[in-house]
Structure 1
Amino acid sequence: MISSPVRSLTRTLIWRLIAFQIAGLVLILVLVVGTLSATGLLVNLETEDETIAILQEALARDENNGLLLRPTPALADLRSKVPDHWFIVRDQNGQRLAEGQPPSVFARIGASLDEIGQARLGWNMADDSSSRPTARMKWIDTQAGRVQILTGSGPQVTPHKILMATSLVISSLILPSLVPLIIATIVVTPVVIRRALAGLSEAAAQARDIDINQLHTRLSADAVPSEAAPLVQAINDALDRLEREYEGQQRFLMAAAHELRTPIAVLQVRLESLAEGAVKDRLLEALNRLANLAGQLLDIQRLSQSAPEFARIDLVDLARRVASDLAPLAIAAGYEPALESDVDEMPIDGDQSSLERALTNLIQNAIQHGGRRGTITITVGSDYSISVTDEGDGVPAERNEDIFKPFHRLHPQRSGAGLGLHLVREIVRRHGGRITVINVPHGGACFRMTFRPPRQSASR
């Protein structure tokens, strides 16, 4: 099954905010241009300001000191683009120069505006202003001297005027607003989301720490946004159900392991009464494996339900006693047991019974997989370690981690439940140590348990 790509909340929110901002500004553009076009306040203003600038360059005096317009290219372009334009030019002496058809309402208004530098002349919006002319008045300095220009164009809205108005609104309003908004969105949105979801990140960190030994842990929803709180609660509810199911399975396994011990003991007594022979040996060996499996199940349950009680123990003494107990089993399987130690004693803080069980499982693992040949060596090192080495086929490097998983067997066709090494690793972990496996040069595997040094006593 191909999983869909993970969507980024930050990227999605940024794009949607930008799209919303653009849509909002486009709506503003439509409203502004529509309103100004209807009132004539903008489309004419652009043309009128352009007309004033063109007239400023074209105005001059004739030989009689009268006003005239020089035939500039800009003036010719204006006359072709805005055929309904009109203007009235007055100097300070009252001379006039006019072109087009000025509306009667503006034809004689110039003299009354001599004391005003510039003005916009129009109508109230309550009036039907879209069908009534507007005008622009401004005093400017030209080659013909200081003059008053009153100009305007027809009230009709043309595509050219709409385009000019749209361009003006985009350049003066939309772009100056949109660019900072987009930049602020790109910069601020990740910060806002990161702070808003900080509680969710903490909950995710808590979830990563949950394992089979910490099923009682629950995610905290105190700092989680209210929108994500149902997800956190659903996860906690799922953990509640998993914990109840797991505890039920654990109780079942412990009860089953306890129940197995009685029939195993009865079988052992009855098998011991049989006549010596190969059949008896095979039956006793099979019964021993069954008893070992029941013991491993009980040990796993005890480890999961209670913390070990640590005391000062000696690894050398522990190795000597376990090796002595298992020596007959190793010899009967065709091995030569050996105990080596670099030191006379090696104290650590640990649980005596669980460490004995861990070492027993390693030796039994070596007996089972050592090829029934060579030496099984138990070594206590000066680095607070104890190792078991056999001369079998070794462990493939790519399987070094798999062999410690519960119910995993290196050779599925062989006997064993695959719990021994898993139990060993759990015991070592509870002691704050680590277990490693390497293949020795002459053949075989070496399992080494390394523990922490003992705590120094407070008293001297």
Structure 2
Amino acid sequence: MRRSLAGAITRALVAANLIALAGITLGFAISGFADRQNRFEDGIDDVAAVIEDSIRRDDDGHLSFDAESDAWRDIMADHEDLLFLVLDPASGEEIGNDGGILHRAVGDRWLREWRRSIFSLRLPDGTGLNGVVMTIALDDLPLRLAVVHGDSSWHDMRSWVGNEFAREIAPTAIPALLISLVVALFAVRRLMRPVAEVTARLSRLDPTRGDGRLDVGLVPDEIAPLVAAVNDSFDRVAATFEHERRFIADAAHELKTPIAVLRARIDGLADRAVADRLIGDVERLGKIVERLLTSARMEQGKAPLVPVDLCAVARSVVAEYAPLALAKSCEIEWQAGAETLPVLGDAEALAEALRNFVGNALRFSPAGALIEVAGSLDDAGRAVIVEVRDRGPGLPPGRASQIFTPFVSSAPSGSGHAGLGLAIVAAVARRHGGTAEAEDRPGGGAIFRLRLPAALSPATAP
């Protein structure tokens, strides 16, 4: 299964940020747990302040509560187990909701002294309570207040952590997290851009040639060894192909002399009927050798690529084959879809490729057929296309995808054709950064297509 490196890096950054955020929150939780006693006392003080503000004296001087205030209602809603007791030391009057529990727990002494004291008690049902006894004032007269509520350290800590997260962490950490993700995505895309450029260049490289390799300096250090290994592999492939091309060229060159000697000896035979048959075989052998030499020259591609008008090259090839078509009672026609077809190329190599297309079409077309040679630019104007359309038998069944392979002929077996013509076209197309294509033509016949990159500036005729 394919995995995205950019996606993996982004997910790792997201995970790292989330872990950092969780660590900050955990730190606050630990700090909150360590400081729970202080928070408990602060909470008790807040409750005591509300109770103090709610105490009143009526006209008779008795204590009472203003239980209708919003602060009172909020305190009672937040602390359902809240118990409190207010004692007037001067009169001995008590008010509260403790039912006598707090007086029994803290004793008369602590209720009548001025000091502040923290205490714990446990109800008969086993409920643990924490509280404080303190002095408050009403009309400048001291009162003693005892307040308790349940041991809610964990609840208080969770509430505190939640409040701190909402007030302190989230407003800064979450925007920082989002900003870091945006920056990370931008950085990952920027880092991956050289990889994409190298990949695009790799798709255009021909490993059989040694004139183009990937630039190791464009990619990050972590990917550079992979790019270097690809270059080394291409070098080995190019060296192997160069050795094979040189061998084929040398072998074909060496065969020319024995073929010439063999032809001379055949010409000297007295039996002319046998001599004529042998001469036909020798001529076919000579053509194969010439095609091998041409194929080797095309693969080596020593000539520089210069501005060429493929339209002019195609017209020249059509004019060259017009007498041959006429001799076979066929017609050949040039159809120009543009005034010029500019490419950077080797004019002679391009002419040889088109000769193979046109010669192949003429060989398989029946008498009276029309061979169309058409040139045009693609819709985007980035590619030059030359098509040769015939009305022959079409592509060979089962071998259509192999006809540009050397020694795979589109002609019937025993016809004398070695299958090198279309291989030469494919070699020319590769050298020019293009492709050679073939397909069956609707209504019968075949279409052979040469597609090359268009030149950026207008080409001149060869």
TM-score normalized by the length of structure 1: 0.64
d(CA) in 2 for partners of 1:171 and 1:261?
A: 90
Q: Report how far residue 188 of structure 1 moved.
A: 2.1
2 CA distance for matches of 1:214 and 1:97? Answer: 102
- SS in structure 2 opposite 1:198? helix
CA distance in 2, matches of 1:10, 1:268: 67
Which amino acid letter does the alignment assign opposite residue 17 of structure 1? L
- Give the number of equivalent residue pairs: 414
Which residue in 1 is equivalent to 2:424?
A: 423
2: CA distance, partners of 1:134 / 1:63: 31
How far apart, CA to CA, are the structure 1 residues paired with 2:239 and 2:212? 13
Q: CA separation in 2, counterparts of 1:388 and 1:202? A: 35
Q: Counterpart of 1:197 in 2: which secondary structure?
A: helix
Structure 2: distance between partners of 1:347 and 1:74: 88
- Aligned runs of 1:378-417 on 2, under 5 Å? 391-395=391-395, 403-404=403-404, 406-410=406-410, 413=413, 415=415, 416-417=417-418
Contact 1:354 1:427 in 2 (8 A): yes
Give the one of 17, 21, 25 matched to 2:21: 25
State how far apart, in whole Å, the 1-side matches of 2:403 and 2:232 are: 33
2:81 aligned with 1:47, yes or no?
no
Query: Residues 349-384 of structure 1: CA distance to partner in whole angstroms, max 9, x if unpaired?
Result: 9978646644553454246534xx425777889999
Residue 302 of structure 1 corresponds to: 297
| Equivalent residue number for residue 33 of structure 2 | 37
Give the structure 1 partner of residue 460 of structure 2.
Answer: 455
Change in Cα spacing, 1:303 to 1:57, as seen in structure 2 (3 Å) is: farther
Q: Over aligned residues, Cα RMSD in angstroms?
A: 5.7
Give CA-to-partner distance per residue, 1:44-76, whole Å, 9 cap, x none: 267347525753774444334665434566555
Letter in structure 2 aligned against 1:47: G
2:217 alignment partner, SS class: coil
User: 1: distance between equivalents of 2:340 and 2:166?
Assistant: 83
Tell me the secondary structure at the aligned position of residue 307 of structure 1.
coil
- Could you list the per-position Cα deviations for residues 130-160 of structure 1 after superposition, in whole angstroms to 9, with x for gaps in the alignment? xxx99999x99x9x99x99999879977333
In structure 2, relative to structure 1, the CA distance for the partners of 1:226 and 1:348 (3 Å cut) is: closer
What are the residue-to-residue correspondences of 1:139-288 with 2, within 5 Å? Answer: 158-212=153-207, 215-273=210-268, 275-277=271-273, 284-288=279-283
TM-score, normalization by structure 2: 0.64
Cα distance in 1, alignment partners of residues 346 and 429 from structure 2: 10
Match of 2:367 among 366, 374, 385: 374
Could you tell me how far 1:32 is from its partner in structure 2?
2.6
Letter in 1 for 2:423: H
C-alpha spacing 1:319/1:282, structure 2 compared with 1 (3 Å): farther
**Distance in 1 separating the partners of 2:79 and 2:52:** 15
CA distance in 2, matches of 1:248, 1:75: 94
Quote the Cα distance in structure 2 between the aligned partners of 1:302 and 1:136. Answer: 107
Gaps of 5+ in 2: 89-93, 119-129, 377-383
CA displacement at 1:191 relative to structure 2: 0.6
Task: Describe the superposition over 1:257-289 as per-residue Cα deviations: whole angstroms up to 9, x where unpaired.
Answer: 223333333443444455344x76665555444
For 1:108 and 1:399, locate their aligned partners in 2 and report how far apart those are by CA, in whole Å: 109
Alpha-carbon shift at residue 184 of structure 1 (Å)? 1.9
Match for 2:235: what amino acid? Answer: D
SS of match in other structure, 1:222: helix
CA deviation after TM superposition for structure 1 residue 439, in Å:
7.2
Distance verdict in 2 for CA 1:23–1:339, change over 3 Å: closer
Distance 1:395 1:447 in 2: 10
Go from structure 1 to structure 2 and tell me whether the alpha carbon gap of 1:154 and 1:169 turns closer, same or farther (over 3 Å shift): same
For residue 202 of structure 1, what is the amino acid of its counterpart?
Answer: E
Describe the shift of the 1:244–1:20 C-alpha distance in structure 2 as closer, same or farther (beyond 3 A): same
Counterpart contact for 1:435–1:450, Cα < 8 Å: yes
Q: Does 1:14 align with 2:10?
A: yes
AA at the equivalent of 1:424: V
Opposite residue 188 of structure 1, the aligned amino acid is: V
2:63 and 2:277 map into 1 onto residues whose CA distance is 131
Unpaired runs of 5+ in structure 1?
A: 90-95, 111-120, 122-132
Indicate the residue corresponding to 1:116 in structure 2.
Answer: none
* % identity of equivalent residues: 28
Letter in 2 for 1:365: N
Gap change, CA 1:97 and 1:10, over 3 Å in 2: farther
Distance change >3 Å, CA 88–CA 357, structure 1 → 2: farther
Q: Using the alignment, how far apart are the partners of 2:133 and 2:179 within structure 1?
A: 39
